[in-house]
């Protein structure tokens, strides 16, 4: 799968778990929303997006593009369910 396809799958909610399973989630998704130059973000618009995400059971990141007069940035990092790798020690040459 291409990196773009994978990222789209993550942001759309197909590749992460529900909030009840947050402790095992493979991804942590942070969403940043910026108002355009000289514009404001209406609380009602943001509230509608949050309600829609709850109704559709999708992450907020997948619907932020619907907010008028805004730019958004989605940051995907390893979630708490990802085990931290132990560094390798030695190899064939270290006896």
Q: What is the pLDDT of residues 69-90, one digit of tens each?
A: 999 999 989 888 888 878 887 7
Q: Quote the pLDDT of residue 59.
A: 85
Distance CA 81, CA 28 (A): 9
Q: Quote the pLDDT of residue 9.
A: 60
Q: Quote the pLDDT of residue 17.
A: 44
* Residues 15-51: tens digit of each pLDDT: 544 555 677 778 888 899 999 899 999 999 999 999 9
Distance CA 93, CA 90 (A): 7
Q: Quote the pLDDT of residue 73.
A: 92
pTM: 0.58
Q: Quote the pLDDT of residue 48.
A: 93
**β-bridge mates for residue 51, sequence order:** none
Nearest CA-CA partner of 49 in 31, 72, 75, 67:
67
């Amino acid at each position: 799968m291409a990196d773009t396809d994978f990222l789209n799958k993550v942001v759309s909610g197909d590749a992460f778990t529900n909030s009840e399973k947050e402790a095992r989630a493979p991804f942590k998704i942070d969403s940043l929303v910026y108002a355009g130059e000289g514009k404001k973000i209406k609380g009602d618009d943001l509230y509608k997006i949050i309600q829609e995400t709850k109704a559709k059971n999708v992450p907020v990141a997948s619907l932020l593009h619907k907010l008028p007069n805004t730019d958004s940035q989605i940051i995907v990092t390893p979630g708490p369910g990802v085990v931290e790798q132990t560094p390798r020690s030695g190899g064939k040459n270290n006896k």
